[in-house]
């Protein structure tokens, strides 16, 4: 731990003359993050990957639906074959001929091929590659491949983001998106199609997390919760677009191409999305951070002149070798895992992400088991999700992140418990309970994403988010197999989701009570802030050592009083920014 702290101190130690410009730069960044066209543009550009992610995520419902099929008998060696009886949606057939027509104990034969009764030939990947009967297990693998890709992308692009920059990670992920999406539409072998689905998952995780982090690191602390929660509205937009595109393009190949071409919109953020100034500051690249801020303030000549004069006060910095920077990043990552406080936060966040993701994706894929037509069900999900992302906004203004998350998870768990108690013939009540659970778990998902981004410093923020996203994708990978278990027992998926949601309530209570804080840039700052009690570690697992039993509201009031003054009221007159 000591060597890790020394790395932070070496990087943070700058000449005394540089301290004032650095502080002025942070003040200017805070002023930009309060609102305006720059922040709105950042929000809109960064939301594009969310729409694309949603399109490919819900595409499974339309790509892999199973049409009714008939057993098709291939040419047989038996020359006496006179009649073949085709059984609808069956994996076997009965062979009849003139010699055994009176024998009713004929053993059924296994099907070699199938005829699919679908409105348009090649409308699903199921009919394209006969993913039924013995090969039925390969059908959910198309969704599993997307989850595996998100695991890979979360880890790889998370490390790239913290080591090489948020925008570099975004550019790399966008390139993969542009190639893998159309390529999947022209895949004529199922393993190749799965490979491109893995690539799409990796690109989606990398692009969305990088854009989200740039927005979170650029927003002013009181505005961050609103922007972070509304950032997720891009997902229901994609959910609403998917059924429309599936009706316009009924074949799975045209549909796959239709949901891939919007990736061309990524050219806009690739061209215009700035690097995170906070990340640049954490790397000691003050000139580049000033360049970003200066170009974001071109509408104010005086402000631009003031920032330009500040830039001239920085000394030329030595170039850091790639190997040296990589060693520093690896040291920080190791320090994140060695530090007991961060290790606890990381583990509890990961488990909460997994629980939220499992319930979220299981309910998304349960349309058939709930007796709903796919297009209508997806539109219903999207409508519920839009309302869900508006719910946390008033809650976050009143309570801490932890309390909001625990309330939403409790409500989702209660809806799942209700779902278990409703008789199977009450279909409307079952659908209402399922949608209520989906409503609250979507809101909880948006809160835990914001929460995690604030619990870790800039130098390891995307890596921490990447590991949490990895746990979330384990839940999404498990969801299609869990839905398939309805054939064994109709209530099994609900029981599993209920258990994990209840566990998530316990996990969330172990996280710090945080309401509105400024982001830390280094591990040393985060530890110092924790030791100064700016983040109250009052949790379900550890009570406060001070005398008396102060309630949660008092903890939140103390947290707010500890926020640095420059985060709540900045005097920018010396920069010409006011």
Distance in angstroms (rounded) separating the CA atoms of residues 540 and 538: 7
Does the reported pTM lie above 0.75?
no
Which of the 8 DSSP states describes residue 189? S
Helices 322-338 and 461-484, axial angle in degrees (round to 10): 60
Q: How many CB atoms lie within 10 A of CB 125?
A: 23
The answer to whether residue 332 scores a pLDDT higher than 90 is no
E strands within 291-418? none
| Residue pLDDT, tens place only, 207-266 | 988 888 888 888 877 778 888 888 888 889 999 999 999 999 988 999 999 999 988 888
Q: What angle do CA 234, 237, 242 make, to 5 degrees?
A: 130
Distance in angstroms (rounded) separating the CA atoms of residues 378 and 56: 13
| Residue pLDDT, tens place only, 47-70 | 889 999 999 988 988 888 877 777
Report which secondary-structure segment, H or E, holds 96: strand 92-97
Candidates 504, 515, 527, 497; CA nearest to 556 is 515
Radius of gyration of the chain (CA): 27
At residue 415, what are phi and psi to the nearest 5 degrees? -65, -40
Distance in angstroms (rounded) separating the CA atoms of residues 489 and 424: 12
Give the range among 159-163, 378-382, 492-496, 507-511 with minimum mean pLDDT: 159-163
Q: Output the pLDDT for position 451.
A: 87
Distance in angstroms (rounded) separating the CA atoms of residues 281 and 15: 15
Longest dimension (CA), the chain: 102
The structure tokens listed for 29 are 């960044």
450 or 32: which carries more pLDDT confidence?
A: 450
Distance in angstroms (rounded) separating the CA atoms of residues 206 and 121: 35
Q: How large a percentage of the chain has pLDDT more than 70?
A: 70
Q: Across 224-233, 315-324, 482-491, which has the greatest mean pLDDT? A: 224-233
Which of the 8 DSSP states describes residue 77? S
Q: What angle do CA 66, 72, 73 make, to 5 degrees?
A: 150
- What three-state secondary structure class fits 506? helix
Q: Output the pLDDT for position 433.
A: 93
Q: What is the dihedral of CA 324, 326, 332, 335, to 10 degrees?
A: -100
- What would the 3-class secondary structure string for 510-552 be? CCCECCCCCCCCCHHHHHHHHHCCCCECCCCCCCCCCCCCCCH
Q: Across 59-73, 78-92, 366-380, which has the greatest mean pLDDT? A: 366-380
At residue 64, what are phi and psi to the nearest 5 degrees? -120, 20
CB 365 within 8 A of CB 144: no
CB 111 within 8 A of CB 74: no
* Exposure on the CB side of residue 466, measured as CA atoms within 13 A: 25
DSSP codes joined into one string, 209-230: HHHHHHHHHHS-TTTHHHHHHH
CB 462 within 8 A of CB 161: yes
The structure tokens listed for 560 are 């707010």
- What three-state secondary structure class fits 85? strand
Give the range among 73-87, 113-127, 295-309, 446-460 with minimum mean pLDDT: 73-87
Task: Please provide the size of the chain in residues.
Answer: 578
Q: Output the pLDDT for position 82.
A: 36
Distance in angstroms (rounded) separating the CA atoms of residues 64 and 542: 47
For all residues of the chain together, what is the average pLDDT?
75
Q: Output the pLDDT for position 411.
A: 95
- What would the 3-class secondary structure string for 113-154 be? EEEEECCCCCCCHHHHHCCCHHHHHHCCHHHHHHHHHHHHHH
The structure tokens listed for 169 are 């990670």
Q: Output the pLDDT for position 96.
A: 53
Residue 116: beta bridge partners?
69
Distance in angstroms (rounded) separating the CA atoms of residues 250 and 62: 9
Q: Output the pLDDT for position 548.
A: 39
Distance in angstroms (rounded) separating the CA atoms of residues 392 and 397: 9
Q: What is the dihedral of CA 77, 79, 80, 81, to 10 degrees?
A: 60
The structure tokens listed for 479 are 């969801």
- What three-state secondary structure class fits 169? helix
Candidates 320, 337, 222, 323; CA nearest to 280 is 320
* Exposure on the CB side of residue 37, measured as CA atoms within 13 A: 6
Residue 94: beta bridge partners?
85
Q: How large is the average pLDDT for residues 445-453?
A: 88
Candidates 181, 81, 66; CA nearest to 128 is 66
Q: Output the pLDDT for position 569.
A: 35
Which of the 8 DSSP states describes residue 70? E
Which of the 8 DSSP states describes residue 4? H
Q: Output the pLDDT for position 458.
A: 78
Could you tell me the pLDDT band of residue 578, with boundaries at 50, 70 and 90? Answer: very low
Report the phi/psi class of residue 86: left, alpha or beta, with left for phi > 0 and alpha for psi in -120 to 50: beta
């Amino acid at each position: 731990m000591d060597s890790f702290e020394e790395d932070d101190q070496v990087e943070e130690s700058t000449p005394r003359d540089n301290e004032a410009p650095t502080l002025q730069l942070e003040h200017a960044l805070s002023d930009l993050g309060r609102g305006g066209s720059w922040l709105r543009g950042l929000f809109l550009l960064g939301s594009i990957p969310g729409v694309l992610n949603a399109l490919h995520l819900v595409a499974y419902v339309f790509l892999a639906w199973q049409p009714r099929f008939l057993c098709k008998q291939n040419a047989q060696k038996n020359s006496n074959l006179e009649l073949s009886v085709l059984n609808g949606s069956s994996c076997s057939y009965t062979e009849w001929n003139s010699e055994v027509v009176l024998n009713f104990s004929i053993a059924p034969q296994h099907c070699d091929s199938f005829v699919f009764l679908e409105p348009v030939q090649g409308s699903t990947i199921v009919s394209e590659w006969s993913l039924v009967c013995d090969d039925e297990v390969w059908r959910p693998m198309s969704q599993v491949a997307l989850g595996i890709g998100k695991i890979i992308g979360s880890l790889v692009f998370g490390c790239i983001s913290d080591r090489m920059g948020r925008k570099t990670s975004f550019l790399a992920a966008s390139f993969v998106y542009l190639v893998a999406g159309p390529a999947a539409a022209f895949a004529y072998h199922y393993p190749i199609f799965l490979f491109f689905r893995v690539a799409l998952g990796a690109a989606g995780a990398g692009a969305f997390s990088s854009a989200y982090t740039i927005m979170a690191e650029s927003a002013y602390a009181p505005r961050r919760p609103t922007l972070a929660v509304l950032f997720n509205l891009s997902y229901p937009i994609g959910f609403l677009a998917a059924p429309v595109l599936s009706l316009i393009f009924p074949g799975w190949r045209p549909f796959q191409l239709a949901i891939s071409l919007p990736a061309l919109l990524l050219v806009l953020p690739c061209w215009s999305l700035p690097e995170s100034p906070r990340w640049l500051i954490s790397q000691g690249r003050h000139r580049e951070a000033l360049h970003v801020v200066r170009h974001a303030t071109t509408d104010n000549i005086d402000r631009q002149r003031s920032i330009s004069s500040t830039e001239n006060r920085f000394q030329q910095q030595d170039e850091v070798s790639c190997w040296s920077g990589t060693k520093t990043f690896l040291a920080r990552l190791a320090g994140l895992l060695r530090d007991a406080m961060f290790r606890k936060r990381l583990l509890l966040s990961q488990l909460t992400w997994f629980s939220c993701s499992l319930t979220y994706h299981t309910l998304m894929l349960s349309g058939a088991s709930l007796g709903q037509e796919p297009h209508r069900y997806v539109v219903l999900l999207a409508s519920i999700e839009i309302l869900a992302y508006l719910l946390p906004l008033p809650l976050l203004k009143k309570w801490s992140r932890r309390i909001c998350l625990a309330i939403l998870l409790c409500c989702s768990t209660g809806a799942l418990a209700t779902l278990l108690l409703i008789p199977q013939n009450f279909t409307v009540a079952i659908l209402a309970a399922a949608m209520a659970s989906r409503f609250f778990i979507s809101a909880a998902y948006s809160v835990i994403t914001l929460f995690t981004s604030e619990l870790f410093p800039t130098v390891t923020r995307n890596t921490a988010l990447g590991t949490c996203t990895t746990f979330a994708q384990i839940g999404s990978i498990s969801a299609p197999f869990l839905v398939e278990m309805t054939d064994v027992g109709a209530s099994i998926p609900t029981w599993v989701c209920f258990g994990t949601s209840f566990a998530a309530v316990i996990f969330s209570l172990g996280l710090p009570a945080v309401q509105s804080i400024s982001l830390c840039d280094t591990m040393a700052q985060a530890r110092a802030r924790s030791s100064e009690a700016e983040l109250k570690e009052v949790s379900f697992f550890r009570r406060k050592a001070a005398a008396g039993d102060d309630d949660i509201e008092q903890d939140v009031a103390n947290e707010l009083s500890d926020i640095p003054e420059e985060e709540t009221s900045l005097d920018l007159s010396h920069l010409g920014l006011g």
